Amino acid sequence: MLGANERRVAVHFGAGNIGRGFIGQMLSRSGFEVVFVARNEEQVALLKQQRQYTVTLASEREEEEIVRNVTAVHIRNAAAVKESIAEADVVTTAVGESALPHIARPLAEGIEFRLANHERPLRIIACENAVKGSSKLRKWVYSHLTEAAKEKAERCVVFPNAIVDRIVPPQIGDDTLGVKVEPFSEWLVEHDHGAGREPLSIAGVQYVRALEPYAERKLYTVNAGHCCAAYLGYLAGYRTIPEAMRDERIRRAVEGVMRETGRLLVHRYNWNEEEHLRYIRKSLQRFANPRINDKVTRVARSPLRKLAASDRLVRPAVQASALGMEIPHLVSLISAALLFDFDQDPEAVRLQSLIRDRGVRDVIRNHMGIHEHHPLHYRLTAHFEKLREGRRER
């Protein structure tokens, strides 16, 4: 892919599951030297020392790939972070949506340093489960830039939005850097007109002119369906997603949610129904993969983020309801999400304290943005109460 003396550098913020298990792997495959910016001291030391790690597929043959030409710098090593950004052709992130504001300052300092030296094009791609994650990151980064740097950045730095899809659960075992991942993967990036150049060639990346339909397809199908297995699985007492998916009642509910959002998507984008059904079936297969030991509490994590008006649950429910579509499975799923009370998840603890202190109607109105006069408000409240009662009686 590269000329003999050509060196290409990618800086990736967050050496976690998707960072090592997907983004780092693809960047390394494409011939980039990958510099992880991480906050875990042990990981930084190991990446610097070993310069490689192994990605194993959760498939029958458990194929392995060595991801080479990687290194790391600690997020607090400001000078090293700046220098890496100055050299980079692309910067990616997978730190979690809520951590984006925290990496904005080091990123902005790196951009200022870079722009003082040269104006080569730079792409910054947030690979988070977030609606328009790169645009949000751009706003935070710009809040730290001087006016002069902003002006230069307008000319040569772009923030194309992206979606990434691969199930990568937290890793178990002794290999601190190794990652086990599902065989499926998808990485879609908005075509970056901004810098006025050819999009950067990265293995596994598909460039699209309009990201929104794909983003909604992923959010409303894979993410909503996966959540359904997690929240219903949690209430039923299952530990892992594959265990929950073996419960026929839950499997049917997961499929029901994806069919409801599917009707909405097919209507909105005029898609071929059969093709979308194949996507749903593929998602069901992915969730049930017995080789992925994925805990229900991981997939259910951060319920306040997942219950936000713009996210995977409320947004399709409100859109479908506006079109007069029946959505009983989505209503059950959202009600189950409101009952997620895992005490090691800070957002679940906060959610439960909001419900306790202010009542569920307040959460539905103020957090989820569904007002009392909306038909969904009553249905959600009633279903939540029914589920809560059933749980008390058990």
Ligand X SMILES: NC(=O)C1=CN([C@@H]2O[C@H](COP(=O)(O)OP(=O)(O)OC[C@H]3O[C@@H](n4cnc5c(N)ncnc54)[C@H](O)[C@@H]3O)[C@@H](O)[C@H]2O)C=CC1
Ligand Y SMILES: O=P(O)(O)OC[C@H]1O[C@](O)(CO)[C@@H](O)[C@@H]1O
* Residue 11 labeled ligand binder: yes
Cβ–Cβ < 8 Å for 334, 315: no
Q: Which of 8, 11, 12, 14 is close enough to bind ligand X by CB under 6 A?
A: 14
| Residues pairing with 68 in the sheet | 52
Question: What mask, x for binding ligand Y by CB under 6 A, covers residues 101 to 140?
Answer: ----------------------------x-----------
CB-count burial class (<10 Å; 0-12, 13-18, 19+) for 116: exposed
> Nearest approach, Cβ of 99 to ligand Y (angstroms)?
11
Tell whether residue 13 is a contact of ligand X (CB under 6 A): yes
Q: Which is nearer to ligand Y, 167 or 308 (CB)?
A: 167
Measured CA distances, 27 to 20, 91, 197, 214, 374 (Å): 10, 10, 19, 22, 46
* Coil, helix or strand at residue 306: helix
Find all residues with CB under 8 Å of 220, minimum gap 6, and list them.
258, 261, 262, 264, 265, 312, 315, 316
The end-to-end CA distance of the chain, in Å, is: 60
Distance CA 380, CA 371 (A): 11
- Secondary structure class of 338 (helix, strand, coil): helix
Look at residue 223 and give the partner it binds from ligand X, ligand Y, none, a contact being a CB closer than 5 to 8 Å depending on partner kind.
ligand Y
Instruction: Check binding of 168 to ligand X (CB under 6 A).
Output: yes
The alpha carbons of the chain give a radius of gyration, in whole angstroms, of: 22
Q: Is 345 in the site for ligand X (CB under 6 A)?
A: no
Among ligand X, ligand Y, none, partner that 301 touches (CB below 5 to 8 angstroms by kind): ligand Y
Answer for which of 301, 315, 329, 367 binds ligand Y (CB under 6 A) is 301
Residue 97 binds ligand X, judged by CB under 6 A: yes
Residue 226's binding partner, choosing from ligand Y, ligand X, none, with beta-carbon cut-off 5 to 8 A by kind?
ligand Y
Q: For 138, which DSSP code?
A: H
| Rounded least distance, CB 222 to ligand Y, Å | 5
Provide the mask over 184-223, with x wherever binding to ligand X is found by CB under 6 A and - wherever it is not.
----------------------------------------
Question: What is the CB neighbour count within 10 angstroms for residue 298?
Answer: 15
| Closest CB to ligand Y among residues 87, 347 | 347
How far apart CA 136 and CA 103 sit, in angstroms, is: 12
Site for ligand Y in 184-243 (CB under 6 A): 222-223, 226
Binding flag, residue 165, ligand Y (CB under 6 A): yes
What residue ranges bind ligand X (CB under 6 A)?
A: 13-19, 37-40, 75, 94-97, 99, 102-103, 128-129, 164-168
Q: Residues within the annotated binding site?
A: 10-21
Q: Residues within the annotated binding site for NAD(+)?
A: 10-21
